[in-house]
Amino acid sequence: MPAMPNGRRSWARWVKGGLAALIVGGVAWQFARLLREPALWRRDWHLAPGWLAVAVATYAIGLGFWGTFWLRLLDRVGHGVPAGPGLRAYYVSHLGKYVPGKAWAILTRVSMLAGRVRPGVAALTATYETLTTMAAGALLAAVAVPFLLAGQASAGWQALGLFAVAGVPILPGVFNGLIARVTKPFIEPGDPLPCVPALALPEGLAWAGVGWCWLGASAWAVLMALGVLPADAGAGFVLRCVAFNALSYVAGFLFLPAPGGVGVREWILQQLLEREFAAWHTEAVAAGLAALAVVVLRLVWSAADLLNAAAAYALPVAAEGAPCSPS
């Protein structure tokens, strides 16, 4: 396929940037309107530091499961690295997702493992891990949301529409095509990339699925920190948090122009949480509570990404060590 002319590439960047700004601006305006609801602020608000700490810790643990799969994948293709340098590169790379296009996350891992892993192999495995993780989130949501929303016909139809978007990463043509496109700039002539074993996909779905459960628990902890949940919000609500968070996260990831899925993720999660809160509050308060919750969740996770990256740099990492075992 011929390269896109410079003028057309520039035009495409402006269109993507404008579309991202339009969506983020629209979501921000909508949330500002919801958060101005007077009844919302007549409640006694607080932020429980203990629950916020739980949210940060469970988020870091969830990412650790995803990062561990990446290390196991590197080992399976014959390029294992010690867990310390590998997880350091993984946690730091999450800062790259806040740059439009999301390719910076892959580039960060390639750069931080330079001298340990060939650039093409690092990019191949990083892309494979990312797409497998998103596929696991889409599958988890596709299985769980219809079951958890049984009896809510309108919510079911909306969920099906979102599944059509969130399920894109697991389509074979898209999955393989994205890996080939992302890794192409890192492939050296005459140095072919290794083949990823077939068992890597189900293994990755399992590791990533556990990670999604921890991220869902982190979202639930943020709601607990805000004190917006009644006493009867039990295990079923926690499961819905896991599924709703996975669905909104994957949909935000697929919207490439938005850094970190900002705007898209928040809008979808707000819509899903609003339905939950409507059982306990008036319609206006439920909408405002959901908007407040997703804004705080974004701030907490962004802060957690910064803390994780800082901790990864601060902790000493030995030059040698046992690579992550494939079994």
What is d(CA 224, CA 48) in angstroms, rounded to the nearest whole number?
8
The pLDDT value recorded for residue 74 is 93
User: What is the mean pLDDT of each successive set of 10 residues along the chain, which is 327 residues long?
Assistant: 49 54 54 53 72 96 96 90 91 85 82 88 89 87 71 56 64 71 75 79 92 95 86 80 88 68 78 83 80 88 92 68 44
> Do the beta carbons of residue 122 and residue 129 sit within 8 Å?
no
Look up the pTM and report it.
Answer: 0.81
Half-sphere exposure of 62 (CA within 13 A, CB side): 25
| CB neighbour burial string for 68-83, b if at least 16 within 10 angstroms, e if fewer | bbbbbbbbbbebbbbb
The pLDDT value recorded for residue 327 is 42
Q: Which of 57, 13, 87 is closest to 225 using CA atoms?
A: 57
The pLDDT value recorded for residue 44 is 63
What is d(CA 245, CA 127) in angstroms, rounded to the nearest whole number?
21
The pLDDT value recorded for residue 242 is 92
What is d(CA 184, CA 237) in angstroms, rounded to the nearest whole number?
43
The pLDDT value recorded for residue 149 is 64
DSSP state of 187: P
What is d(CA 304, CA 2) in angstroms, rounded to the nearest whole number?
41
Q: Pinpoint the alpha helices (H) of 36-118.
A: 38-41, 49-76, 83-93, 103-112
